[in-house]
Amino acid sequence: MASEQSTVDCAEAADMTSFEDLEWDEPVQSVQELAENDGVRIVPPMYIRPLPDRPQLERREEAIAMKQKIPVIDFSGLQDERRKGFVMREIAMACEDWGFFQLTNHSIAPALLERVKRVAAQFFELPLEEKQVYANTPGSLTGYGSRMGIAKNSVLDWGDYFLHYVWPPEDRDVDEVWPDNPPAYRDTIDEYSREIHNLYRNLMAVLSINLGLKSAYLERAFGKGASHVLRINYYPPCPQPHLTLGLGSHSDAGGMTFLLQDEVLGLQVKKNDKWTLVKPISNAILVNIADQLQIISNGKYKSVEHRAIVNKKKARMTVAVFCNPADDTIISPAPALLDARHPPLYRPMTFGEFLASFFKKGLDGKGYVESFKTRNHHF
Ligand code: OGA
Ligand code: NI
User: Distance from the CA of 258 to the center of ligand 2, in angstroms?
Assistant: 9
Task: State how far the Cα of 375 lies from the Cα of 360, in Å rounded to an integer.
Answer: 22
Relative to beta strand 100-104, strand 285-289 is antiparallel
Does residue 332 contact residue 221 with C-beta atoms inside 8 Å?
Answer: no
User: Distance from the CA of 252 to the center of ligand 2, in angstroms?
Assistant: 5
Give me the phi and psi of 337, to 5 degrees please: -95, 0
What is the residue with the minimal CA distance to atom 6 of ligand 1?
A: 252
User: pLDDT digit of tens for each residue in the chain (379 aa)?
Assistant: 333 333 333 333 333 333 345 666 677 899 999 999 888 999 999 999 999 999 987 666 555 655 678 999 999 999 999 999 999 999 999 999 999 999 999 999 999 999 999 999 999 999 999 999 999 887 778 999 987 765 667 899 999 999 999 999 999 998 889 999 999 999 999 999 999 999 999 999 999 999 999 999 999 999 999 999 999 999 999 999 999 999 999 999 999 999 999 999 999 999 988 898 999 999 999 999 999 999 999 999 999 999 999 999 999 999 999 999 999 999 999 999 999 999 999 999 999 998 887 666 555 555 556 545 443 322 2
User: Distance from the CA of 4 to the center of ligand 2, in angstroms?
Assistant: 32
What is the residue with the minimal CA distance to atom 5 of ligand 1?
A: 320
Q: Provide the 10 A C-beta neighbour count for residue 247.
A: 22
The reply to whether ligand 1 has any atom less than 6 angstroms from the CB of 113 is no
Task: State how far the Cα of 95 lies from the Cα of 216, in Å rounded to an integer.
Answer: 18
The reply to whether ligand 1 has any atom less than 6 angstroms from the CB of 267 is yes
CA-based R_g, the chain, Å? 20
- Please tell me whether residue 154 adopts helix, strand or coil conformation: coil
User: Distance from the CA of 306 to the center of ligand 2, in angstroms?
Assistant: 6
pTM exceeds cut of 0.75? yes
- Give me the residues paired with residue 270 across strands: 275
Q: Rounded to the nearest 5 degrees, what angle is found at the Cα of 362, between the Cα atoms of 358 and 364? A: 95
Which one-letter amino acid corresponds to residue 110?
P
- Nearest alpha-carbon partner for 345 in 364, 332, 358: 332
Name the DSSP class of 297: T
